Amino acid sequence: PLTARANDHDRLEIGGCDVVTLVEQFGSPLYIVDEDTLREGARQYRDLFARYYPGQSQVLYASKAWNCLAICAIVGQENLGIDVVSGGELYTALEAGLPPEKMYLHGNNKSKEELQMAVASGCTVVADNWQDLHQLVAIAKETPDSAIRIMLRFTPGIECHTHEYIRTGHLDSKFGFDPDQIEEVFAFVQQHPILTCIGLHAHIGSQIFERQPHRDLAGVMVQWLKQAAAYQLPITELNVGGGLGIRYTESDDPPSIEEWVKGVSAAIIEACESQQVALPKLLCEPGRSLIGPACVTAYTLGAQKQVPGIRTYLSVDGGMSDNPRPITYQSVYRAVVANRMSAPLTETVTIAGKHCESGDIVIHQASLPKTESGDILVVMTTGAYNYSMASNYNRVPRPAAVLVNDGIANIILARETYEDLIRQDRLPERLAHLS
């Protein structure tokens, strides 16, 4: 986070709050969100589009990265719109008071209830497939007063080098219409003016470091705009998705937000000029690059195990339930010890989670100072797809999250309790007596 530094007590401080004190106050493990980092990223995206793109633009926060009331409220205050992918994310964004005209509902298998909810609230629907279009036409007929705004998502057929689970732009992807069907889709929408088609969407993947794929995407999408012109659709928006990668470890070298915005803007402008298409309103939907760097997870170190000549395991009080990314994508993280910030990094250890699974390793090779049980280990850059993918595996309650700013810490997610864990359990009467 922008505001992370070692304070005079040799401890990690974020947002003006001493991390060791935060853990004493709010418990462990603890997600700590730095408000300044999130706001600064949002402002950068917004202001840089204003600088580099002469047309209108709108940045949407891809809330799948972390969706809860407080995070929605912050991005809303920064005038970002929001991308939601389920009824639950939509519900949260609405409850946070975000304006529906800046909400976009995604998903490759939206239920009729989710579509109805989006239409009733005034959220734009990103139609991903024929089922979406047919269901939307049916909803439009059932609720004749509703104005239904849609975008059309196509698979762009652009390859990029990222983990295969988070690539979406290649043609063999479950998301979006196949571009071979583009004329058919445009014709359908033209024949159903009950749906107002305002734009086109594509997304190529996540945690992308290469510069070229998004520029290629811009060219492909402007070509689609040109094709759409023949159908007299009210299309004015292009959404190029999200995907900008972030720096988890020293060796990661992603483009800056500025480089990304500048590159995408220039590619759209150039393609529009060469294909003689009017500049569209440009949308993008970053998730990871906004919230990822804004959060850290503080754990307490516990048991140690030395495997002679091989490694030392240091176990923490969380793991794959609060951060499933290492076990899912072999993601690599960096950690510091919050109460020994200036101690020399003399040890190479394996940070293990507490779950009953050998693969539950938070960091395979962490460079740390000498530690003791009770020390506070802080894993950096955990804002994206940690809380949002967290589970109760092994019936471990989800951690609390605090928002820090200027020395003040506010709870934004209360720690789950054991009672929370059995709240949805039901015990049929015939099982109520053990004997």
Mind telling me the catalytic residues? 356
* Structure tokens given for 105: 């509902």
| Out of 81, 179, 243, 326, the residue judged to bind ligand LLP by CB under 6 A | 243
> Does residue 100 belong to the site contacting ligand LLP (CB under 6 A)?
no
Supply the minimum distance, in Å, between the C-beta of residue 283 and ligand LLP.
10
| Out of 39, 149, 325, 355, the residue judged to bind ligand LLP by CB under 6 A | 325
> Does residue 107 belong to the site contacting ligand LLP (CB under 6 A)?
no
Q: Is 237 annotated as a binding residue?
A: no
C-alpha–C-alpha distance, residues 209 and 3, integer Å = 24
Q: Kindly compute the dihedral angle of the four CA atoms of residues 313, 315, 320, 322, in this order, to the nearest 10 degrees.
A: -150
C-alpha–C-alpha distance, residues 364 and 176, integer Å = 36
Interface segment toward ligand LLP; rule CB under 6 A; list 70-78, 131-139, 252-260, 285-293:
285-293
Interface segment toward ligand LLP; rule CB under 6 A; list 46-54, 238-246, 410-418, 426-434:
238-246
Phi, psi (5° rounding) for residue 403?
A: -105, 125
Supply the minimum distance, in Å, between the C-beta of residue 320 and ligand LLP.
13
Q: What does DSSP say about strands 347-352 and 361-368: parallel, antiparallel, or unpaired?
A: antiparallel
User: 417: which DSSP letter?
Assistant: -
> Does residue 332 belong to the site contacting ligand LLP (CB under 6 A)?
no
With residue 282 as reference, give the H or E element that holds it: strand 281-284
| Out of 106, 192, 340, 355, the residue judged to bind ligand LLP by CB under 6 A | 106
User: In sequence order, which residues have a C-beta less than 8 Å from that of residue 285 and are 6 or more positions away?
Assistant: 59, 60, 61, 62, 83, 104, 203, 239, 241, 242
Between 39 and 340, CB nearer to ligand LLP? 39
> Does residue 393 belong to the site contacting ligand LLP (CB under 6 A)?
no
Q: What one-character-per-residue DSSP string does 312-359 give?
A: EEEEES--TTT--HHHHH-----EEETT-TTS---EEEEEE-SSSSTT
Closest by Cα among 240, 325, 246 to 291: 246
What is the SS3 assignment for 233? coil
Q: Is 357 annotated as a binding residue?
A: yes
> Does residue 48 belong to the site contacting ligand LLP (CB under 6 A)?
no
C-alpha–C-alpha distance, residues 237 and 140, integer Å = 22
- Restricted to residues 160-179, the positions that interact with ligand LLP (CB under 6 A) are 166, 168
User: 424: which DSSP letter?
Assistant: T
* Structure tokens given for 317: 């009080």
Supply the minimum distance, in Å, between the C-beta of residue 126 and ligand LLP.
8
Interface segment toward ligand LLP; rule CB under 6 A; list 57-65, 211-219, 227-235, 408-416:
57-65
- Restricted to residues 184-213, the positions that interact with ligand LLP (CB under 6 A) are 203, 206-207
What is the SS3 assignment for 367? strand
User: Contact, 63 vs 89, CB < 8 A?
Assistant: yes
Supply the minimum distance, in Å, between the C-beta of residue 419 and ligand LLP.
29
Binding site for ligand LLP (CB under 6 A): 62, 64-65, 83, 106, 166, 168, 203, 206-207, 241-244, 285-289, 325, 329, 384-385, 389
Q: Specify binding-site residues.
A: 243, 285-288, 325, 329, 357, 385
Q: Specify binding-site residues for substrate.
A: 288, 325, 329, 357, 385
Q: Specify binding-site residues for pyridoxal 5'-phosphate.
A: 243, 285-288, 385
